[in-house]
Amino acid sequence: MSDGSDNPNAQFLERKLATILSADVAEFSRLMGEDEEGTLRIFRGHKQVFESLVAMHRGRVFNTAGDAILAEFGSAVEAVRCAADIQAALRTRNDQLPPSRQVKFRIGINLGDVMVHGGDLLGDGINVAARLQTAAEPGGICISGSVHDQIRNKLSLSFQSLGEMNFKNIQQPVRTFSIREGDDRGALPSVKPRGTKISPVQWIVAGLLLLAGVGYWTYAVKERIKADRARTIATDAPLRTTAPPEAARPATEQAQTAEPPQQPKPQTLTPHAATQRSAGAAAVTSAGGGGRYDGEYSGQICYGETKKEPQRCYQAKGTITGSKIASTWIMGREKKVNMFLDGQVAKSGDLSIEIEMRSAADGSRLARIDLTGTLRGGLINASGSFVKGRPATLNWHKH
């Protein structure tokens, strides 16, 4: 008589509790129909940022299909924090595109029991997260009541209750909340319950309040700028920073570790032109003033771990003036690699940064890093990757 050990169905089915993040692109079919190649190029860039932030928050992407991405987290707090960072980073990228070409993710998060199938996860815990994602606005986040119970009072976010919502193929109604950020980044898009109507009187009152608020804000900003300019001394050009011993390796090894030279033949820059570029970057940082984020920042830049290389970090610094962040420095004891940092700072504190590594000998480009992130409370946190995929992060603080 068989004991059932040869029957695959009799084998133990592994289950676990996990926080599931489900995301897809709003209006993806329309975007692809209008411009397949352009949409795919933008989506791939967004996806790279998405996956690097999931890894940074100790999550794991376990399934992708078309424009959909599924990730799991051991912590509900980390999952929600990751989702907020993703939407902030992608908002910065989308701001550089026409409104009709912006690729916006909708995100749903659920805490539930799931079944483990190899590297994949299955079950209602995933299905609920996918349904919550459909309730979110483009660029927004919806979470289940189970997630809300875990993160309440632990994050600087506010929540809008949408009540118990019924979703297709989900037997029980799901307590649903949309997330609104509670800091100066402004509010994430939230879901408006179906059937809600706004009367003409409410529109008029809202318009008057908006005009009054804009007028006061404009006055306050002008007064603040005057006060800042009165006490601001023109900043010097950014200081060049030499990397610590950990990063003080031969330039050829640094270039190989960071990124292979670009093909075809790299763009060249003569030493004289490189000097002019450094002077230009310094001029940008020392011109103007009075911006809310103005000042000198410093901290670490880290290259993520790969199969062949461990994580590497070094110190650097830069200056923000108005809407620009810029810096130049020299890497390594041999001083054979010039680093050029240039980026934009939005009024909301969102940043987009590009770092180029160029040969000090002939100005040829060795590598480039693209980063997006935020500036909050004097702290810059940005993440991204080299052109060929190695992740990178920048974490600076204001002096």
pLDDT tens-place string over residues 243-281? 444 444 444 444 444 444 444 444 444 444 444 444 444
Q: Is the pLDDT of residue 169 over 80?
A: yes
Residue 171 corresponds to which tokens in the numbers above? 């037997």
Q: Which conformational region is residue 186 in: left (phi greater than 0), alpha (psi within -120 to 50 degrees), or beta?
A: left
Q: Is the pLDDT of residue 286 over 70?
A: no
**CATH number of the domain at 13-181, please?**
3.30.70.1230
What size, in residues, is the chain?
Answer: 399
Long-range contacts of 37-45 (CB under 8 A, 24+ apart): 38/101, 39/101, 39/103, 42/93, 42/97, 42/101, 42/103, 43/67, 43/103, 45/93
**310 — pLDDT class (breaks 50, 70, 90):** confident
Q: Which conformational region is residue 262 in: left (phi greater than 0), alpha (psi within -120 to 50 degrees), or beta?
A: beta
**42 — pLDDT class (breaks 50, 70, 90):** very high
Q: Is the pLDDT of residue 166 over 60?
A: yes
Nearest to 301 by CA among 365, 383, 379, 237: 383
* 3-state secondary structure at position 285: helix
Whether pTM > 0.85 for this model: the answer is no
Q: Is the pLDDT of residue 112 over 80?
A: yes
Average of per-residue pLDDT across 227-244 = 44
CA distances from 80 to 71, 94, 187, 321 (A): 12, 21, 15, 32
pLDDT in tens, 2-27: 444 455 554 568 999 999 999 999 99
* 3-state secondary structure at position 274: helix
Span of 10-14, 288-292, 311-315, 318-322 with lowest mean pLDDT: 288-292
What angle in degrees, to the nearest 10, is found between the helix axes of 36-56 and 76-94?
140
Which regions of the chain carry the CATH code 3.30.70.1230?
A: 13-181
Q: Is the pLDDT of residue 111 over 60?
A: yes
Residue 280: its pLDDT value, please? 42
Largest CA distance in the chain: 92
